């Protein structure tokens, strides 16, 4: 009987090694968030240690959530700065929740022009984030739980940096949030392509691959002034 138990335990251990799975007891300690040098740090707040080059080492953690802050199609002209207005791909494990639906976007490069200007959960004005709906904070806390590490990404790092600033301002722990940077610069081994180019040169997008969290504003309750 003991031999059978030991044999079963050995099989489980081997499966864990083969799958690359980590239990809560064996999760590696994360480095404290630290802004990188240069314009990537000064302008976007991208992390020095966990970014597009290293994120593969920190995926699939049970103590973390992973969000890409892009829209499926952003009205902004991101091609003007070498990017893509379409969510053309993402890093495996990241779910998309569009920053422009959370709060009005400010401070974009002039070349990009205006992004989405419709309804938002919050309004940023005079340095404050004001809830537009009774459920606004509840939605924010649901998607970005304070007891988890939060990995944020977008196209170039801007939306991710803005989202981190918002969460920290509203009371989230700055040392548990990482601005991973921009998908446009990702060259790791966990890429999921959404953009598809056919032999005739036509382009289409497999948005069905994206776990996308839209916000149903019609069923929310506006805050009365």
Query: Domain range spanning residue 126?
Result: 30-219
pLDDT at 23 over 70: no
Beta bridge partners of 131: 122
pLDDT at 100 over 80: yes
CATH number at residue 50: 3.40.250.10
Residue with tokens 């924010």: 140
pLDDT of residue 61: 98
SS3 category, 211: coil
In tens, the pLDDT along 152-167 reads: 999 999 999 999 999 9
Q: What is the pTM of this model?
A: 0.87
DSSP H or E segment with residue 67 = strand 64-68
**Stronger pLDDT, 46 or 13, i.e. the higher one:** 46
Domain total in the chain: 1
Residue 167 lies in a domain: yes
Residue 178 lies in a domain: yes
DSSP 8-state code for residue 49: S
* The pairing of beta strand 203-205 with beta strand 195-197: antiparallel
Residue 159 lies in a domain: yes
Which region holds residue 109: left if phi is over 0, alpha if psi is between -120 and 50, else beta?
beta
pLDDT of residue 7: 54
Residue 101 lies in a domain: yes
């Amino acid at each position: 009987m003991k031999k059978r138990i030991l044999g079963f335990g050995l099989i489980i251990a081997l499966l864990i090694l083969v799958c690359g799975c980590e239990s809560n007891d064996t999760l590696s300690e994360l480095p404290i968030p630290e802004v990188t040098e240069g314009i990537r740090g000064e302008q976007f707040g991208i992390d020095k240690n966990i970014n597009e080059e290293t994120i593969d080492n920190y995926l699939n953690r049970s103590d973390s959530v992973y969000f890409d802050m892009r829209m499926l199609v952003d009205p902004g002209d991101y091609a003007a700065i070498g990017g893509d207005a379409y969510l053309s791909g993402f890093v495996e494990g990241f779910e998309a929740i569009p920053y422009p639906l959370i709060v009005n976007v400010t401070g974009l490069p002039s070349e990009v022009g205006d992004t989405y200007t419709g309804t938002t959960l919050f309004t940023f004005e005079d340095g404050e984030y004001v809830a537009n709906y009774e459920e606004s904070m509840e939605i924010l806390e649901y998607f970005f739980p304070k007891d988890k590490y939060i990995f944020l990404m977008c196209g170039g790092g801007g939306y991710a940096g803005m989202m981190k600033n918002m969460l920290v301002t509203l009371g989230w722990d700055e040392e548990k949030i990482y601005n991973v940077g921009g998908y446009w610069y990702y060259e790791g081994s966990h890429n999921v392509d959404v953009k598809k180019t056919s032999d005739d040169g036509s382009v289409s997008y497999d948005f069905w691959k994206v776990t996308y969290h839209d916000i149903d504003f019609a069923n929310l309750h506006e805050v009365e002034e």
